[in-house]
Chains A and B, each alone.
Chain A
C-alpha cells in the first residue's frame, strides 16, 4: 500500500500530487473501506510552487484551487466513522521558502472535520477562555484561535481511542472534546502522560537539563492534581502545567542562542589568527630557534595573563548583573569567551619588524579558499568527496609535470614512480564510497555490497587478507630506499605489524561469520554464537592491548640504524652508519604504525583497504616531496638543512588526504553514516570502550594522517651535526603540525560560519549543521593527533641525541 514518488527532483509541479490523488481516492471508495483504518497523505505541490515561484503567483492560485477540488471530493466520499484532518506541516515566507522561525514560516493551517458525528455537543463557552489562546495573523484584522501544532497528537490519539505517544508535549484541543466529561478525562490523561514523560526524562542521563525548572514543574503538576471536578480553575491548572512543560522543553531544546554562536566563531577566528602568526614566525629561514621561542612565548604569556585578568573582571561584573537582569550568556560562558578570545591577541598583532611580508598566495592556499567556498552551497557539500579528490590530484599533477622537464635520469624515474603510486592510491581510495542519501542515483555504493546489504563486497573480502599480509612488506620497502630498515624495524614491521593487521581483518571476518549464522548449521547455535563472540573479542583486545604494549617498547628501542666499521682505500678506519639519512623519519614511522594498527582494528573490512592505500599514499608522498626538493636543489644549489621547512603547498595535500581517508572509509558528513557496529570491537556488549572505538572508527583515519603529518618535517633529514639537527627537526615538525592544523581550522571556521549563517536554511539540519559537526570533530581529532605526535617526536629526538652523542 506504499507508493513512493520522487519528491525533490520534480520539475513538474503537479506530478507528486497526482500520484497521491491517484491512490487516495480508490481507498476512500466504500467498497475498499475495510482495507484501512488510517490514511496519511502528503501533498507536496504547494511547497514546490512556493520554492519555485513564491506565493504571489498564479501557479499558487492554480495549486490551491486543485487542493480545494481534491478536498471537496474527499469530503464527498467521507463516511460517518471517519475523521478528516488537513494541515500544513509549516508555512512559508514571502519568498516561498521555509526552515526558520519567522512568523510566516511557523504559522500552519490545521483543520478538523467530522462529517456527521459532531465533535462538540455541549454549548460553546463551557471551557475557560484562558485555555483558548488567540493570535492575530500578521496583517489580519481579527484574531483567530491559535494552538501548538503538536496539540494534534494527543487530540487525534484520544479521538481515535489510542494512547497518547510517550514523548508527547502537546495538549488536547478543548473544542474537540466538548462532550459530557470527555474534556476532563482527556486533560487528565494528557497531564499524566506528560508527567510520566518528564519523570522518565529526568531519570535519563540527560535528566540534569531539567534541574533548573524541576521545582516549578512539580509545583504546577501538584496544582493540577489538587483541585478536581469540572471547575474552570481545574482545567486551567492542567493547561498551565502542560504549557509550562512545553515551554521548558522549548527553552532547553529548540532555541538558537545567536550570541553564543557569534562568540564561538570569534574564538575560533582568534585561535586561527594566532596559529597563522606562529606559523609565519617559524617560516623565517634561520637557525635562530631561541629567538622564535622568545618571539612566540612572550606574547603567549602576555595574552594569557591579560585575558585571564579581563575575563575575571568581566565575569564578576556579569555575575553581579545577572542577579538583576536575565543575561542570554552566563558569566561562565563570558569568562571562557574573553579568556580564549583574548589570549591569542598579543600574538596575532605583529609588533616587531621581523614580520615577514605577505607572500604571494600559493596554488594550494587558493585551493583552500575555494574549498572553504563549498560550505556555502549545499550541492557542493553533498559532493565534497569528489571535490577533495579533484583538489588532491590538482595539487600534485602540475608540480610533477613541471618538475619532470627539469630533471633527468634517476630523479626523473623516482618522480614518475612515486607520483604514480601516490595518484593510484588516491584514485583507488576515492572509488570507495558509502554515498550519502542526496547523491542517489548518481552514486554507486562500493563500501557495502549494496545499499540494502551492509556487508563488504566479495572483492573486498578476497583482497583483505592479502592486503594485511602485504602492507608491511610495502612499508618496509619504503624504508629500504634510505636503508633505514635496520635495528628492530624488521621485527616491528614484518612480525608485529603484520600480526596486528591480519588479526584486525580477521576480527571482521569472524564478525561476518557470526552474523551469517553459518556455524549454527554444524553446531549448537547458542554455543556457536557464544564461542564466536569470545574469540572475536579476544582478537580485538589482543590487537588493542598489543599496540599499547608495542608503543611502550618502542619508546625504549634503538634507532633503525646499523653501525659498520670499515677501512677506506688508504687504510683509515671509517664508521659507516646504515640508515643514517632517514634516522628521524624511519623511527617515528614505527610510532605511527602502532596507532595505525588500532585504527585498522576499529575500521570495517571495506574501510581497511582504503586505510592501507592511505598509508601507502603518505609514504609515497614523503618520497615524492623529497624528490621534488632534490630537483629544486639542483636548480638553486641551496643546502636543504637551512631551508625554512615544509611549505604550505607541501602540507596542504596531506590535509586533503586526511579528508579523503575519512570519506573513503565509509563516512560522510551525516550522522547516519556513523558505524555503530564498531562499538563492539573490544567487548561483545556495550561497554565503556564502545564510544572510544566508535570515535576511533569515525575520526581514526584523520587522526592517523595528522599523526603522520610531522613526518614531512623530518623525512630524510640528516641527524648531524647535533644539537643543530634536532633543533631543525623541532622547528620543521612544529611548522608542519601548525600548517596542518591551520588547514583544518580554516575549514572549521568557514563551515561554522556557514552553518550559523544558514541556520534558517531549508537544508541546515541535513547539510550545513552536520558538515559543521564533522569539521569540529575532525579539528579535535587533528589537535589530539598532533599532540600525540609531539610525544612521539620527543622520544625520537631523545634517542637520536643519545645515539649521535659526541659524533661530529
Chain B
C-alpha cells in the first residue's frame, strides 16, 4: 500500500462517518451533506473534546456511589445483608471461585476505572497537542472502545440474581441503589468513547508538518 503523507482534511476532502465516502465539500466552513448517504459531513466530530470531558466527569461522579452504595441486599431467614460491588467480589473469592472473583473484579472495578483514566489521558494529550506515542494512544482508544461493554457484567449478574432468588419468605434478593449508578458509569463511558474523535490524536502531528 502506497502512502501519501497527507490527511483527507489537509487535502480539502472529508470522509463521511456513516458510509465512508470520500468527497470534496462545497465549502470549508460548512461541509454540508454526504452526496451518497445524506449524512451531515464534519471535518471532526462536533465539540468532541467538550462532550467527552462532560461525559467522563459525569461518569467519574457516578463511579463513587456505584462503589459505595450496595448493589444487592439479601434477606435470608429474617436477617438482611447488603453487598457492594467489592462485597460481591469478596463473596465469590471466599466461596472458592477465585477465577470468577477475578473476572468480576476486572470487569466491574478495574475496567471502569481504567476507562476513565484512559479517556482523561487521551483528552489531556489531545488538548496539549502532544505528538508523541500516537500509535500507543490509538491502541489505547481502541481498547477503551472494545472493552467498555464488559463492565455491564455486574448489572446482568445482579439482575438475574434478583430475578431468580425470590423464595419468600425463606430468602429473597433485592437490588440496591448502587446498581443504577453503576449502569450509568458504563453507559456514560461508552457514549464518551463514541463522542471522542481518534483523528484528533493525529491532527497535532499534521499541524506541525504543514
A binds B: no
